[in-house]
Structure 1
Amino acid sequence: MGAKNKARNLDHEIRDEEMEEQDETSKPVSKSKKVAKEHKEQLQRLQEKDPEFFKFLQEHDKELLEFDDDDIDDDVETDMEDAEMQEDEDVGPDMEDEEEKPSKNVITTEMVDSWCNSIRENGQLGAVRSLMKAFRIACHYGDDAGEESSVKFHIMSSSVFNKIMLFVLSEMAGILRKLLKLPSSGGKKETITDLMHTKQWKKYNHLVKSYLGNSLHVLNQMTDTEMISFTLRRLKFSSLFLAAFPSLLRKYVKVALHFWGTGGGALSVVAFLFLRDLCIRLGSDCLDDCFKGIYKAYILNCHFINAVKLQHIQFLSNCVVELLGVDLPSAYQHAFVFIRQLAMILRDAFNVKTKEAFRKVYEWKFINCLELWTGAVCAYSSEADMKPLAYPLTQIISGVARLVPTARYFPLRLRCVRMLNRIAASTGTFIPVSMLLLDMLEMKELNRPPSGGVGKAVDLRTVLKVSKPTLKTRAFQEACVYSVVEELAEHLAQWSYSVAFFELSFIPSVRLRDFCKSTKVERFRKEMRQLIRQIDANSEFTNERRMSITFQPNDPSASFFLEDEKKAGSSPLSRYVAILRQRARQRNDSLMESSVLVGEKASVFGSKKLPASDDEDDSADEQGATVFSSSSWLPGSASKDKPPKEEKKKKKRRMTQQEEVALEEDIVEDLVLSSDEEDGFLCDAPADEDGSASDVFSSDKDDDLKPVSPREQTKKRKLKNLPKKNVKSHAKQSKKRKRAN
């Protein structure tokens, strides 16, 4: 009982001293330090005089003995800041005009510089807290909630805003790591889970949450792509802390996916690097969300293809494939589900056989998804996790090529053949591609002389279906025949070093000779004869060496037949394919140059490379910092200033132009990821009664992927109501008007 009474008396004495310190705010700071020293000396005397009572305090009241000088310094700093605030508020009591009231609570550059210097030199926690408060005000500047009377300071100048943003985004990651006693870089999810049970985390986690939350808010307010790139690049060093805040993690994933899908230039690369860093460091916490989200973002951005967007979609596909490589077992599970959905849509098209079912398969979304998974299987063909997907994907692609075997879908069939050739080359398995190509040569559209004139050059990479007049043009026939020759030579060149090449090439060579006899176009006959000569030369090349072998066809050593020649690429077909590739590259380049759709940003995504080292990343940070510091941007400032009437008129004109273009072309809307869309994501989409998931790729477009304008819709409605005679007369009158115009 005596020990308990002593503890109570000592506790009362300490509380009285603390009350006296709080009341005496006008006393100098040195007095509070003296009180702290006296308190520590008192505890040391107590340990010497009464060690039993000191042990009792250690067992029952540890907080009284755990005394730290840093806490005193922090309190001193905050007291000094409060004193400065009071001084700033008390300056000029006589000048109480309404116009000068906002100037009382303004953060100046001197204040920001003092905070930054104290953080760099001494690492004072009080300055860190003050700077984080200023950072929060900067991020929420212009918001309705940011103009409350409880906020003590405001940021009025753009220079102060830029100083705060630049210092916090550049230095805060290192400051937080020092406070939490973490390494200066790197780390995994386990380091944060272990840290969450320590005293440092309980003391400083509010600073981490404030930094990440305010940075996310300002990311949603920014519009300049270079500033967004700089912010995301700096936040990548703090992505490890998101393991402790799952709600913030999901929001960051959505924002990064939005910038990845809709951004241009370096922004897409930076957003993807941020996502990949999240997946590497946090693992299972964000892998599912990232895999589902990036596949959905890819689908939303590949509804339509032209000469410009072709490279952008290729860039997005490469990013998805790269992200899947972070965790292949998890990627296999998602890929299996998505490929199965494609198979179910194709199965419905074969069973139902309606235009709507065919349209769901013969559209850009479906074909681009096949291209994506082809790239993934080819990239990880040597891995045991992804290799089993090659067979079902090959079956789907072959079924798509044979779904509608007409000449108008030659471009789509050629795309399927290219995908099959890529899978066969990467996996080393034989796929009967030659039958798909030889069937195209036997169609009557390629055996007749062109009756539609020369026609415009057709880029088979950017179309899935051609019109009937285009089928009769010379340009389309040449493009098809040359593409068939190139892909057939590519397929045969893959097996030009096989023991069984003579047997594999026998049927294609026979059918090519039949085409030479049946065709009436001399250019096509000359092209086919050249390919036949190369096939015969390659057969002699393999037969000569086959005469000297002693192993059986089923012997494993057959796979090493002509291994040295294969590495050197010395077969006749290999050399011929190299010439054909060069010719195809020149033809595609000429189409790109002659295309009206090619603009300044056409080669941005094709030439963009990921940063190979940290030095390149730092140089990019310096460029972003210069953009940030030179900008006079303030978040929310545009909402306060009303735009003039001329700007409103320009905006209206732009909106009307955008609406007209959206009706005439297939423009994909910007990606807006919300919780409702996430709940109905295609991976979790319920199947129909017959087990199909056809609603995933449903579309209201026609076969040519050109939406009908409102004028055409009204004309069609009027024509339906008219009798047949009136319809014919109406059509004649419209033709006469067009001729007159």
Structure 2
Amino acid sequence: MKEDSNLKNSSPMSKKEAKEHIGTLQKLQEKDPEFYEFLKEHDKELLEFNEEDIDDDFESDEEEEETQIDQYDNLDGEAENGEEPSKNVITTAMVDSWCTEIHDGAKIGAIRSLLRAFRAACHYGDDSGDDSTTKFSTMSSSVFNKIMLVVLTEMDGILRGLLKLPPSGGKKEMVIDLMSTRRWKNYNHLVKSYLGNALHVLNQMTDNEMIAFMLRRLRYSSVFLAAFPALLRKYVKVALHFWGTGSGALPVVSFLFLRDSCVRLGSDCLDDCIKGMYKAYVLNCHFINATKLQHIQFLSNCFIELLRVDVSSAYQHAFVYIRQLAMILKEALSGSTKKKTKKKGEEAPPSSTKKRGKETPSSSTSKKETFRKVYQWKYINCLELWTGVVCAYSSEADLRPLAYPLTQIITGTARLLPSACYFPVRLRCVRMLNRISASTGSFIPVSLLLLDMLEIKELRRPPAGGVGKAVDLLSTLKVSKAALKTRAFQEACVFSVIEELTEHLAQWSYSIAFLELSFVSSVRLRNFCKSTKVERFRREMRHLIRQIEANSEFMNKKRTTISFLPNDPTAASFLEDEKKLRTSPLSKYIATLRQRAQDRSDALKESSVLVGDHSSKFGNKIMEDDDYDDSEDEKSAGLLLLGPDSKNNLREDVKKKKNKPSEEVVAVDEDIIGDFILSSDEDSLIDDDTPDGDDSEVEAPPAPKRRNKKQNSHLDSSKPRNSKSKKRKRAQGK
């Protein structure tokens, strides 16, 4: 165009300046025709200047704005007695007139006036509202709403029209290319005014619906933030705050604003958003309850979805944060190994023991702090978050390598404290490992983590604490010592182990090596059936063993029909059709267990305490196979429901126990299975209430009281006293 050639290196002209320039050229032709001819030959473009080629958009329009302002000033009349005129009060008619002018010809004066009114509306009520530089002020709520609605709904399209941009969309490269043009130099202050004033009112508003509406509209103009890095950082900070703490639709709208900004602006915005969202997630998961659990799950889903914008860039952040979790676990594990070496080093020289004695208070507190860093909701929820990331992007080559280190961290967390009080943590870790195994198709040996839970003392003993409250092992991290002795905890522990073990075995129920994978589990389940005295636990275990055996027979029949070797690549596609149809016995059995677990969680949501004879039952529906006699459990629990003949039966049991006291003590106190020892007493490592080595939870038989010589003579008066009997007693005492 002629405009681009004539005004390439000059500032934009108004029509008045253009007329003056044409007049100067005409006078030059009259006064100095020779120089005019010289310009024709060497600079012909300068003389071919045309007034009609000037675009109205490049008009400076300062005089027009001043006349408009003077007109609005004259609406209220001049102040009497020499006083200065007051500020212009914006009316609905003024806003309508600006909108009409913009729609008719997109005049720059009306756009600037509308943005000035928008600025006055955004700063209305501030301390700086009486600033003399502001030309307008708002007085009524209807005018305020009118200005906000008009600007937020139409200003993005108006600015895009001025800058000759597409009506929607665009990326950072488009704005970078635009920044070198003359149009951007003339109108960038309008864009900055719109975004800056909108940010100011976002920080002042408290109504969630209005904030959500503003973010929804500003989302379309987020591409302009590429030209204003300072504003971009402030917008990201505000959106992250609303995403983490908002209610209703505000968190969703805030996340959409952040995601669109990352898509359009690239790594400049993505890095800040990933760091900010991870920090907001950690701050929100310090404590967990039923209502907050849904919000944390929402935050986790949003974070996982944000990583999809750039998976390769997400790997760098994921690697750093997972490494932080590994370092925290390493510190806790080093503290536990030091304590074990201290226990074993009792034969150390006196000098070393004295030094250790001096360091005991500070070292014990530091160990407790290191354990608390791992066994807290913040750490466990971070593991849950990265488990969701690995499972969601298991097919991506960039994030799939993170599965192995994350699996090692989760396994180490589960084995950190093998205490019954922290079985909820172990169950959560097992559930995470099952998810990673199912998504990546990698075998993770979680059966040992579950089978070791069946070897605790609390499951071998009768429930001395009675029925107790219903226990939800998935909504807590630590079970109290009093709850460990209840029947409700025993049922929750056994049923959870069965469900997670079945989930693990069902994933590999179509593997050609299922018989070998399930052999150890079958043996240890049979041992548990033999050792436990609770009939309902035996029934559950026998049912699971039958399902494992049925699945083994199912796989053995399929194995007889194949001819390839185990290392053959075709073994990976073995029984793919059956796996899709879920025809194995364990696949069918796990469906029933999932339904039972869902019923249990629904019942716990309805009421945390279930009253009645079946209060430890999870779920409103009791299975038919649970019709059993609880007389043995009630007797062993201390005879909670005493019958008419209970006293005689109790005396007979006491007499039998007196005949074999040593055997009973060994059966109760011995809880060593191989090299793995589980006890509720091991939580003294991080329990402030009980000192180290406290065995208050072990229900050992009371020690016999010592009798003095007078009591002995009185009690033994009826017995013959001879030297032989005295010698026998002395030998027995020794």
> TM-score by structure 2 length?
0.73
AA aligned opposite 1:473: T
Q: CA deviation at 1:69?
A: 3.9
Name the structure 1 match of 2:144: 161
Measured in 2, the distance between the counterparts of 1:55 and 1:320 equals 67
AA aligned opposite 2:233: R
Q: Secondary structure at the match of 1:365?
A: helix
Larger of the two Rg values belongs to structure: 2
Measured in 2, the distance between the counterparts of 1:42 and 1:423 equals 80
AA aligned opposite 2:75: D
Measured in 2, the distance between the counterparts of 1:404 and 1:63 equals 87
Name the structure 1 match of 2:129: 146
Measured in 2, the distance between the counterparts of 1:279 and 1:51 equals 58
Q: CA deviation at 1:365?
A: 0.5
1:105 is aligned, of 88, 113, 117, to 88
Q: Deviations over 1:86-128 (max 9, x none)?
A: 4235x15448899xx75x5211111111111211222111110
Measured in 1, the distance between the counterparts of 2:129 and 2:37 equals 55
- On the 8 A contact 2:73/2:88 being kept in 1, the answer is no
Name the structure 2 match of 1:342: 325
Measured in 2, the distance between the counterparts of 1:225 and 1:516 equals 57
Name the structure 1 match of 2:604: 591
Q: CA deviation at 1:63?
A: 11
Q: CA deviation at 1:240?
A: 0.3
Name the structure 2 match of 1:367: 380
Q: Deviations over 1:525-557 (max 9, x none)?
A: 111111111101100111001001111001110
Kindly indicate whether residue 189 of structure 2 is the aligned counterpart of residue 206 of structure 1.
yes
- On the 8 A contact 1:497/1:542 being kept in 2, the answer is yes
1:414 is aligned, of 420, 427, 431, to 427
Measured in 1, the distance between the counterparts of 2:378 and 2:26 equals 76
- Matching of residues 575-586 of structure 1 within 5 Å: 575-586=588-599
1:552 is aligned, of 562, 565, 571, to 565
- On the 8 A contact 1:78/1:126 being kept in 2, the answer is yes
Q: CA deviation at 1:338?
A: 0.4
Measured in 2, the distance between the counterparts of 1:504 and 1:369 equals 31
2:503 is aligned, of 464, 485, 490, to 490
- CA 1:571–1:39: 2 relative to 1, 3 Å: same
Name the structure 1 match of 2:341: none
- CA 1:587–1:52: 2 relative to 1, 3 Å: farther
- On the 8 A contact 1:361/1:367 being kept in 2, the answer is yes
- CA 1:537–1:123: 2 relative to 1, 3 Å: same
Q: CA deviation at 1:84?
A: 1.1
Q: CA deviation at 1:137?
A: 1.0
Measured in 1, the distance between the counterparts of 2:16 and 2:565 equals 96
Q: Deviations over 1:46-97 (max 9, x none)?
A: 89984643676678999998844444484564244133134235x1544889
Kindly indicate whether residue 420 of structure 2 is the aligned counterpart of residue 404 of structure 1.
no
Measured in 2, the distance between the counterparts of 1:704 and 1:562 equals 50
2:75 is aligned, of 74, 88, 100, to 88
- On the 8 A contact 2:467/2:488 being kept in 1, the answer is yes
AA aligned opposite 2:489: F
- CA 1:62–1:360: 2 relative to 1, 3 Å: farther
- The total of aligned residue pairs comes to 568
Measured in 1, the distance between the counterparts of 2:46 and 2:460 equals 99
CA RMSD of aligned residues (A): 2.8
AA aligned opposite 2:488: A
- Matching of residues 277-296 of structure 1 within 5 Å: 277-296=260-279
Name the structure 2 match of 1:229: 212
Name the structure 1 match of 2:393: 380
Kindly indicate whether residue 543 of structure 2 is the aligned counterpart of residue 530 of structure 1.
yes
Kindly indicate whether residue 456 of structure 2 is the aligned counterpart of residue 439 of structure 1.
no
- On the 8 A contact 2:25/2:47 being kept in 1, the answer is no
Q: Deviations over 1:492-517 (max 9, x none)?
A: 00000000000000110110011111
AA aligned opposite 2:155: M
Name the structure 1 match of 2:554: 541
- On the 8 A contact 2:311/2:399 being kept in 1, the answer is yes
- CA 1:151–1:468: 2 relative to 1, 3 Å: same
Q: Deviations over 1:338-361 (max 9, x none)?
A: 000100000000112321111110
2:289 is aligned, of 289, 306, 326, to 306
Name the structure 2 match of 1:465: 478
Measured in 1, the distance between the counterparts of 2:82 and 2:687 equals 71
Name the structure 2 match of 1:250: 233
Measured in 1, the distance between the counterparts of 2:369 and 2:267 equals 39
Between 115-124 and 570-579, report the one with greater CA deviation: 115-124
Q: CA deviation at 1:150?
A: 2.6
AA aligned opposite 1:462: S
AA aligned opposite 2:388: G
AA aligned opposite 1:339: I
1:479 is aligned, of 483, 489, 492, to 492
Q: Deviations over 1:620-661 (max 9, x none)?
A: xxxxxxxxxxxxxxxxxxxxxxxxxxxxxxxxxxxxxxxxxx
Percent of aligned positions with the same letter in both sequences? 70
Name the structure 2 match of 1:53: 39
- On the 8 A contact 1:189/1:243 being kept in 2, the answer is yes
AA aligned opposite 1:82: I
Name the structure 1 match of 2:403: 390
Measured in 1, the distance between the counterparts of 2:55 and 2:28 equals 18
- CA 1:213–1:595: 2 relative to 1, 3 Å: farther
Unaligned runs of 5+ in 2: 1-9, 337-366, 610-684, 690-734
AA aligned opposite 1:468: K
Between 1 and 2, higher relative CO (CA 8 Å, sep ≥ 6) is seen in: 1
Measured in 2, the distance between the counterparts of 1:398 and 1:378 equals 17
Q: CA deviation at 1:409?
A: 0.4
Q: Deviations over 1:390-442 (max 9, x none)?
A: 00000000000000001000111000000000000000000000000000011
AA aligned opposite 1:204: Y
- CA 1:219–1:93: 2 relative to 1, 3 Å: closer
Measured in 1, the distance between the counterparts of 2:482 and 2:542 equals 29
- On the 8 A contact 2:469/2:608 being kept in 1, the answer is no
Between 175-184 and 64-73, report the one with greater CA deviation: 64-73
- CA 1:162–1:544: 2 relative to 1, 3 Å: same
Unaligned runs of 5+ in 1: 1-10, 12-17, 19-31, 597-701, 709-741
Q: CA deviation at 1:41?
A: 7.7
AA aligned opposite 1:78: E
Between 443-452 and 368-377, report the one with greater CA deviation: 443-452
- CA 1:109–1:554: 2 relative to 1, 3 Å: same
Between 164-173 and 585-594, report the one with greater CA deviation: 585-594
- CA 1:34–1:179: 2 relative to 1, 3 Å: closer
Name the structure 2 match of 1:508: 521
Q: CA deviation at 1:44?
A: 8.5
Name the structure 2 match of 1:328: 311
Q: Deviations over 1:654-707 (max 9, x none)?
A: xxxxxxxxxxxxxxxxxxxxxxxxxxxxxxxxxxxxxxxxxxxxxxxx9689xx
Measured in 2, the distance between the counterparts of 1:253 and 1:330 equals 18
Q: Deviations over 1:221-270 (max 9, x none)?
A: 01010111000110000000001111111111111110011011211111
Measured in 1, the distance between the counterparts of 2:264 and 2:477 equals 41
Name the structure 2 match of 1:186: 169
Q: Secondary structure at the match of 2:465?
A: coil
- CA 1:34–1:220: 2 relative to 1, 3 Å: closer
Name the structure 2 match of 1:171: 154
Q: Secondary structure at the match of 2:290?
A: coil
Measured in 2, the distance between the counterparts of 1:47 and 1:573 equals 101
Q: CA deviation at 1:523?
A: 1.1
- On the 8 A contact 1:115/1:130 being kept in 2, the answer is yes
